[in-house]
Amino acid sequence: MNAPDPVALGVRAEAMIAELGAISAEPGRLVRLFLTPEHRRAADLVARWMRTAGLSVSEDALGTVRGRFGSAKRRLLIGSHIDTVIDAGKYDGPLGVIAGILAAEHFARAKAELPFGIDVLAFGDEEGSRFPATLTSSSACAGAFESEALATADAQGVTLAEALRIYGKNPDDIAAAAYQPEDAAGYIEVHIEQGPVLEAKGEPLGIVTGIVGQIRLRVTVTGEAGHAGTVPMNLRHDAYTGAAEMALALERIAREHPDDGMVGTVGWIEAKPAAVNIIPGRVLFTVDLRALTDALRLEATERFAAEAARVAKARGLTVAIEPFHEIATAHCAPALQEALAASVTELGHTPIRLPSGAGHDAQVMVRLCPSAMLFVRCRGGISHNPAEFASVADMGLAVAALIRFIEKFQLG
Ligand SMILES: [Zn+2]
């Protein structure tokens, strides 16, 4: 087989990203949500690319497009997603699908005889932009689909089950979409970094060590509303200043572990009754806390709860904390990380090891089989934004590294 030319691969990847990026629900900005007419058009385009690449194409009960090379029972899975956030960039998701197609095509064109087959997977629901549930398509492949998700509804009140039927799918077929663990030899996902680390290190490619676990909390602080002019400062029970002190405590806790992927964010806050001349009597805010190990995340969550209780007591407030979303840390398989790193080194670059602070389909696929991710440098670390950009050269290197990885991949 000829060694692939990274530049030529990068040029093709860029053209395909542009073509997919033009499929949007809105002129002028990229919006492609799960199970919409735009999803259909994108899936059809991906299916056409797969066929042209020499893959046989099918679609599962969640709309995941599957391009299959080789007939071996054991499969190397390569995938990412083709849904987007609202006003998205073009690279987040599609790059991983396109990298998989170009890599599989390399082996299909050469009629390579591999001891395993390759399945390229184009998932339709990673971002969770339409339904409150997220990662449902990769969950179905991993055999981890939770049927409660079917009852969740979008902003128009359409449930996931109804949307699947409109898309031509039958929710009864979801169980059959799952891979048998013994058939899934590994899962690899190429994705833009969506952060600034690779750019800062001056390297095009990174090896993900793990995807940080995450907890989301809803915090309610209750004090006493009062007249902003007549209640003296020392007699106030201001729920807002209490909440502010709690947010600062979260920041302090998260800053203690910069090397463990720990980040804490208060991204949404609401003060009631929300008037310029009333002391806030009640404040609601959210906490998003992520860390590279489950133990650290749990410890930080407990410390935040203790700090919030201490602040509330000192200020004569009450505080209630309710978790509403939690996902465990996903560790990338060490052997796959090593193999990806070796491929990057062979291309003359230094593989940077880094955790992923963002969620990915790989987070679910680890429940099925050993999984790993290859990150691609993106300009300014900007993502979920139309300014998102990865260079032709960097994308080409990612596909070339993926091809080298497949050449050497061994069934465990
Ligand atoms: Zn993504």
174-207 pLDDT tens trace:
999 999 999 999 999 999 999 999 999 999 999 9
Q: What is the pLDDT of residue 77?
A: 98
Q: How far is the CA of 190 from the centre of ligand 1 (A)?
A: 10
Q: How far is the CA of 394 from the centre of ligand 1 (A)?
A: 17
The pLDDT of residue 1 is above 70 = no
Neighbours of 385 (CB within 10 A): 14
Q: How far is the CA of 214 from the centre of ligand 1 (A)?
A: 16
> Per-residue pLDDT averaged across 15-20, rounded?
98
The percent of residues in the chain predicted with pLDDT above 70, rounded, is: 100
Question: Full-prediction pTM beyond 0.85?
Answer: yes
Q: How far is the CA of 41 from the centre of ligand 1 (A)?
A: 19
316 in Cβ contact with 237 (< 8 Å): yes
Q: How far is the CA of 298 from the centre of ligand 1 (A)?
A: 26
148 in Cβ contact with 123 (< 8 Å): no
The pLDDT of residue 387 is above 90 = yes
The percent of residues in the chain predicted with pLDDT above 90, rounded, is: 94
The pLDDT of residue 327 is above 90 = no
Q: What is the pLDDT of residue 119?
A: 98
Determine whether 384 is exposed, middle or buried from the number of CB atoms within 10 Å of its CB (0-12, 13-18, 19+): middle
The pLDDT of residue 342 is above 80 = yes
Q: How far is the CA of 406 from the centre of ligand 1 (A)?
A: 22
Q: How far is the CA of 224 from the centre of ligand 1 (A)?
A: 43
Q: How far is the CA of 249 from the centre of ligand 1 (A)?
A: 31
> Per-residue pLDDT averaged across 302-331, rounded?
95
Q: How far is the CA of 127 from the centre of ligand 1 (A)?
A: 7
Q: How far is the CA of 34 from the centre of ligand 1 (A)?
A: 13
Q: How far is the CA of 111 from the centre of ligand 1 (A)?
A: 31
The pLDDT of residue 400 is above 80 = yes
Q: How far is the CA of 243 from the centre of ligand 1 (A)?
A: 32
The pLDDT of residue 132 is above 90 = no
Q: Which of 16-20, 138-142, 210-214, 345-349 has the lowest mean pLDDT?
A: 210-214
CA 146 – CA 132 distance, rounded (Å): 13
Q: How far is the CA of 191 from the centre of ligand 1 (A)?
A: 7
Q: How far is the CA of 235 from the centre of ligand 1 (A)?
A: 49
Neighbours of 104 (CB within 10 A): 28
Q: Which amino acid is at 320?
A: A
